[in-house]
Amino acid sequence: MADPGAVASPPLQSEQARALLRALAEPLRLQVIEALGSGERCVCDLTTDLGLAQSKLSFHLKVLKDAGLLSDRQEGRWIYYRLRPEAIDALRGWLAELGAQCGRPASTCT
C-alpha cells in the first residue's frame, strides 16, 4: 500500500530504465539484489553469503549504486547497503506502462 504522505516520483525515462535493467542483467548483481531483499546488509555479510571476494563484490555494488538501485551508509569501518525502493517502484511503473501499451493493435498500413 502506498504511503499517503509520499510524493510521487516523476515517471522513469527510457534511458533511466535501460540503466537499471543493464545493472540488473548481470547474474551476480541480481544475487546481490536478492540478498538485500530482506533488508540492509553489511558488506562483510554479503561477501560471506554470496561467496565473493570483496573486490569483486565492491565492483558490483558500485554498479548497482551508480544505477540508483542501492544506497549505503558507513558505520565505523563497515559499509551497509540497502535497496532503494523508489528505484524499484519506478522501474515497476515503467514496465507496467510498457505492458499496458503493448496490447494496442498496429495502425493500418496504407
**pLDDT at residue 9, rounded to an integer:** 60
Residues above pLDDT 90, as percent of the chain: 72
For the chain, which residues make up each domain, given as ranges? 14-93
Each as own residue / partner, the long-range contacts of residues 26-35 (CB below 8 Å, 24 or more positions apart, any chain) are 26/60, 26/63, 28/52, 28/56, 28/60, 29/60, 29/63, 29/64, 32/57, 32/60, 32/61, 32/64, 33/64, 33/69, 33/83
Tell me the CATH architecture of domain 14-93. Orthogonal Bundle (1.10)
Q: Indicate the range of 5-9, 37-41, 78-82, 100-104 predicted with least confidence.
A: 5-9
Q: Summarize the confidence of residues 30-54 as an average pLDDT.
A: 95
**What is the number of residues in the chain?**
110
Q: Summarize the confidence of residues 70-86 as an average pLDDT.
A: 96
**pLDDT at residue 2, rounded to an integer:** 47
Question: Which uninterrupted H or E stretch holds 55?
Answer: helix 54-66
Beta strands per DSSP E along the chain = 41-42, 70-75, 78-83
pLDDT greater at residue 91 or residue 11: 91
Q: Are 89 and 17 in contact (CB under 8 A)?
A: no
**How many CB atoms neighbour CB 3 within 10 A?**
6
Q: Is the pLDDT of residue 87 over 90?
A: yes
